[in-house]
Chains A and B, each alone.
Chain A
Amino acid sequence: MKHLEELEDKSVYILREAYKNFDNLCMLWSIGKDSTVLLWLMRKAFFGHAPIPLLHIDTSYKIKEMIEYRDRLARDWDLTLVVGQNKEALEAGMSPERGRMECCTALKTRGLQQVLDEKRYNGVIVGVRSDEEGTRAKERYFSPRDKNNDWDFRDQPPELWDQFKTRFEPGTHVRIHPLLDWTEINIWEYIKKEDIPVIPLYFDRGDGLRYRSLGCAPCTTPIRSTAKTVDEIITELRNTKVAERSGRAQDADRGMEKLRKDGYM
């Protein structure tokens, strides 16, 4: 399990660098397995504490169990929870029926941007992994975004020997990615090693279906799987060659690249 230790050490180092260098920091928590592992790593880094707010962008289309789980952990782990929601767009009737890209842009990207603007966070910790899809493989650990939240992937700052970008022009912010080196199996192996409570939606609960990746209810479909435990998920992943996000509609036809250029996670 040495590799898990290496991953943990690097993530902890990045989290501590972020905490030291940014005066107004938050962590995005999507309630999924990755960002929950990230939250756990924060408690590792800060010896049981979660000293920065957890930001959840609630599209109102999240699966019900996710909200219950969120509120329970927030209470049990003494978290500062900030919930962001693009109320205007929702009142104007935004929904996946209007088009998936439109809906993601309005409820997630815009929803996030609204909170960032309002709270003036200059550092946002995000649980993306480089094995999730192509554009994420090109990310830096500390990735600057400009005033419009744009990501200029052609001109990213150099990053070497764990020296990161911690200075930036006023009005901009930095996305921090401590999980970049982790893979989907690593996440599950770590959940097992540390005994991290994850949301039950990831397991088959009798109907031969489980979620492999969690998003909004209308746009995420469960996969056929009888994995009922973390061990069974690990075994299943070792034997699959199906991409993790194949159950997510937004990734089709390079939708992710377009979304990410505009500030999506």
Chain B
Amino acid sequence: MDTAKEHFQIVFVGHVDHGKSTLLGRLYADTDSLPVGHLDKVRDICARQGKVFEYAFLFDAFLEEQEQGITIDTARTFFSWGDRQYIIIDAPGHKEFLKNMISGAARAEAAVLIIDAGEGIQEQSKRHGYLLSLLGIRQVVVVVNKMDLVGYSEEAFRAIEKEYRAFLSHLKLEPQYFIPASARNGDNVAARSGAMPWYGGLTLLESLANFVKLPARTDLPLRIPVQDIYKFDPRRIIAGRVEAGQFSVGDTLVFSPSNKTAVVKSIEAFNVPNVVHSVPAGRSAGFTLDEQIFVERGEVASHKDAAPEVSDRFKANIFWMGKNPVPVGGRYLLRIATAEVEMEVEAILGIIDASTLGRGESPERIEKNDVAEVIIRTRRPIALDRYADIDTTGRFVIIEGYDIQGGGIVMEVFKDEQEPFRAEARRRDFEWRRGEIHLDERVLRNGHYPGIVLFTGEKGSGKARLARHLERRLFNGGKQVYLLDGKNLQYGLGTDLSDSDKEEMVRRFGEVAQILLRAGQIVVSTTNTFALADHQIIRALVHPHTVIAVHMSFVEGPLPDNTDLHFLESDDLKAAAKTIMELMEEKNILL
């Protein structure tokens, strides 16, 4: 393959038996793109096995496929024509093999959709159109194949064209060309057909040359999902592919969802002739920062004026390839760019009927090969974009067990109740004037990271006693620790507030806690005035510091969401404090 030429990836999709392999075989044979001897070899095998030679055999690499006459899995082949090098992805259309078709189509820049002139538009043909639009493929050519079987009839062709165009227009897909063809006879594949004088359009080969290369995503806002952090040598390199936009040395980057910011100190690369100053979309990059901030895989770096959304709830269109159906409330793992988080299907809004594109209302579950509109809730907030804005950070996969079983795109991001506080935390973090001493230095001196232990539970359940005991234990162990009680703020910082201003009280509490955390303290918080929702606000404000939630109650019972540990009023204080400290070690507060 010649790199001087432009490269272009095209997927071929079509219902089983609509002649996809034959079309590809014909395209390669007629453009003289097969290896020497390949055509003769396959003809020879056919003769030996007493079979009539078919062009499809040129592409079906597996013995089993030749026996069954179907293409089992997606395959990639290359051919060169004009100024272009084409990478052809042959995606099987058989219903069971939908996941293979999706794997193939997800890599493509354009698609050729094949429809059998005799059989007409099947449900699969519609499903393929729908999935291509969901996968973001906008460039499509439709080949109406096996025209020889309908007597090369213009009427038959126009009827299919009209019906399929109407269907695709609902998907906002407008095929560039409809081409009547016979792959078996080579009509309108590489050479113009004499059998259809009524057709004045392009051959398939000519139409391929008219696909345009998609523009790089360089003009979009910057998105670098953090892939890993390397410390092979004195450099601390953040590695990640620039999915959109571009960045340069000296740029201030913000990492979402943690809100950490730092300036790009250098761009690192191996075996390059010159120092790299900036990196555009598409490149796998590595860079160092001016500060040793703690960022991890899954965060997304951006410029601060155009950061991604941060939320734990969004609406999405998904397609499901797993054997087990998806129920409402189903729990899975979601992967979006490099972030991985537990997720729940909060609601199934409808299954989309690929034939009519109508939405069946409120079904109970999503079956294999269904496309559905759903609401997804993630266990913690993640950085994401609407697919329509930035595709690479707006699409995701769903993992069940050991495998990717579903895929989808983000349609709408919901702002949760904590969003105003998250926005406040962002603004505040961007503008925060840092002192001379960095948190790392405090950690080094203190021998522990900052973190907050939030006690919840009814009055009298013993949480104040346990909190005080914990504070004492930590202090005696040489830790920097401070007990923060809501009451203390009520008579000082919150003296201007009435009882009805509780949310503002919580906000101030959260901001005080985050100052203590910045100062390197372990904060033990206990107050009766705050309810569960308030704790979510505190979490949003102190993010990304580690939070441990400890619930206390009189009897066993259901626990509030996000509870890390539970104790009963009657439990042994010493043992409880020990358990909390063990979790603090596990969560990397205590080292």
Contact = CB atoms under 8 A, between A and B. Distances in A.
Interface of A: 1-6, 8-10, 12-13, 16-17, 19-20, 43-49, 51, 130-131, 133-135, 137-138, 140, 153-154, 156-161, 163, 165, 167-169, 180-181, 183-186, 189, 194, 238, 241-243, 254, 257
B75 A138 contact: yes
A79 to B, nearest CB: 14
28 contacts: A10-B284, A20-B228, A44-B269, A44-B270, A44-B271, A45-B284, A47-B235, A49-B233, A134-B61, A134-B75, A138-B62, A153-B72, A153-B73, A154-B72, A156-B73, A157-B404, A158-B102, A163-B407, A167-B403, A181-B76, A183-B78, A185-B2, A189-B3, A238-B2, A241-B36, A242-B36, A243-B35, A243-B36
B230 interface: yes
Most buried by B among A13, A17, A180, A184: A13
B231 to A, nearest CB: 10
Interface stretch (B196-204, B394-402, B459-467): B394-402
A5 B283 contact: yes
Contacts of A13: 227, 241, 284
B404 A159 contact: yes
Given A13-B284, A185-B1, A243-B36, A168 B404 contact: no
A167 B402 contact: yes
A2 B7 CA distance: 9
Contacts of B241: 9, 13
- Of the listed residues B2, B269, B404, the one surrounded by the most CB atoms of chain A closer than 10 A to its CB is B404
B156 interface: no
Nearest to B397: A163
Interface size class on chain B is: 35 or more
A51 B239 CA distance: 15
B271 A158 contact: no
A16 B227 contact: yes
A194 B76 CA distance: 26
Interface in B309-342: 321, 335
Interface in B224-246: 227-228, 230, 232-233, 235, 237, 239, 241
Nearest to A160: B106
B75 A47 contact: no
Given A9-B283, A138-B74, A158 B321 contact: yes
B214 to A, nearest CB: 12
A158 B63 contact: no
Contacts of B186: none
Contacts of A45: 239, 284
A6 B103 CA distance: 19
Contacts of A131: 1, 76-78
A133 B286 CA distance: 34
Nearest to A238: B2
B265 to A, nearest CB: 15
Contacts of B230: 46-47
Nearest to B101: A158
Contacts of A44: 269-271
B270 A165 contact: no
Given A49-B233, A135-B61, A158 B75 contact: no
